[in-house]
Amino acid sequence: MTNYLDRIPRRAAELSWSSDENGLVTLEAENTGVFNRMAQKLFGRPRYTKVHMERYGSFLWPLIDGKRTVMELAVLQREQFGDEAEPVYPRVVRYMQMMESYHFIHFAGE
């Protein structure tokens, strides 16, 4: 089994995103599927969900390029934020796990 830090994340192709003047990233995920369409029609649910990231996630998101490992991303996070990012490895791993659980990223070779 591969060490989690050696895994290479990739952003989901169908996910759009933007960043504001402060560099904060907003992800925009389309709510697809039968249940989502019914909820949109019956309950006025939005077609898209917007996820506003904080500064740590906003820093990492554009760096997820399908080439860098989780460890490399954590090192960049530490270089950017210094001691403020600590404990950097558990934080970055948890971020990746959350992004994967929402299908915002997947890992190369999986």
pLDDT at 36 > cutoff 60 = no
Q: How confident is the model at residue 29 (pLDDT cuts 50, 70, 90)?
A: confident
Average pLDDT, rounded, for the chain: 88
Both structure tokens of 13: 């192709």
| Residue 12 half-sphere exposure toward CB, CA atoms < 13 A | 16
Residue with tokens 């169908």: 14
Burial 34-68 (b: 16+ CB within 10 A, else e): eeeeeeeeeeeeeeeeeeebeebbbbbbeebeeeb
pLDDT at 53: 95
Length of the chain: 110
14 in helix, strand or coil? coil
- Percentage of the chain lying above the pLDDT 90 cut: 69
pLDDT tens column, 58-97: 999 999 999 999 999 999 999 999 999 999 999 999 999 9
> Which has more pLDDT, 89 or 14?
89
Distances 5 to 12, 78, 88, 100 between C-alpha atoms, Å: 19, 14, 12, 14
pLDDT at 30: 73
DSSP conformation letters of 62-95: GG--SSS-HHHHHHHHHHHHGGGG-SHHHHHHHH
